[in-house]
Structure 1
């Protein structure tokens, strides 16, 4: 069970994963060793799954961000596995969700340009035997970046 100090620690780490045990201790009114032990426990219990760097897509030459909805023609374990394998093999697909409603999947993709997005859709996704329909929406502007998860007392 998480207490309010654990939740505050998680909030701080979501904003800056580089905080040391000393930094965390100061912000949480704990000793560095207490803060470090709490962090280790939260890691061991799976609350913290990874530490990552958020990169700037524009600086990497990824000018196009799009969301691609995919509807499968047939639904079964084999089709789902094949589609998941395809998604996992494509670096430009940065995240994927299964959905309720008309579309079965939502993919977030980053591409260098419209030609690369076109190739992904027409040369990779649409030829896949399990896919019936693909619909894409190109992001014009992302005015709120992916933000930390809410951490409130439960």
Structure 2
């Protein structure tokens, strides 16, 4: 695992700029961080190779693509053992509707961020996919009324 103490202020600035706009060229970066394009290129490549940059992707407009509902789904497993948790993790990894999945401490075992086109699709997801799965005991859903903040940016 990379050690964040191995990166300097230039690296942090490059990472901050890239997480805002991954399409920046090395020339663009060099102008903004006051390094030569070749230095920016070497630093960017090292940051990628060392795993500080895990990938690049486009952020798509969920509403324009017809995924009008964002849902928070909590799941309690039927039994608490390693095999059951593994089976649930395998299920979640195969479901494109699940954008995030987190194991929790406390009353619920998992919380999922799920996108669906509408209420009918949410009902099908819960009733036809989650509830019948052997690892799942209980599911609760909540529909997001408004998203106040959504980001993947880290506070560099």
Structure 2 residue aligned with 1:67: 72
Alpha-carbon offset, residue 131 of structure 1 = 1.2
In 2: Cα distance, 1:148 partner to 1:88 partner: 23
Please show how residues 1-154 of structure 1 align to structure 2 within 5 Å: 1-151=6-156
In 2: Cα distance, 1:73 partner to 1:114 partner: 26
In 2: Cα distance, 1:87 partner to 1:145 partner: 21
Alpha-carbon offset, residue 78 of structure 1 = 1.3
TM norm structure 1: 0.95
In 2: Cα distance, 1:147 partner to 1:40 partner: 21
TM norm structure 2: 0.94
Alpha-carbon offset, residue 77 of structure 1 = 1.7
Deviation track 1:57-110 (CA, whole Å, cap 9, x = no partner) reads 101100110010101120112111111111111111112111111111111110
Superposition RMSD in Å: 0.9
Match of 1:142, SS? coil
In 1: Cα distance, 2:117 partner to 2:134 partner: 26
Unmatched 5+ stretches in structure 1: none
Unmatched 5+ stretches in structure 2: 1-5
In 2: Cα distance, 1:55 partner to 1:111 partner: 15
In 1: Cα distance, 2:150 partner to 2:76 partner: 27
* Bigger mean CA offset, 85-94 vs 43-52: 85-94
Match of 2:15, SS? helix
How many pairs does the alignment contain?
Answer: 151
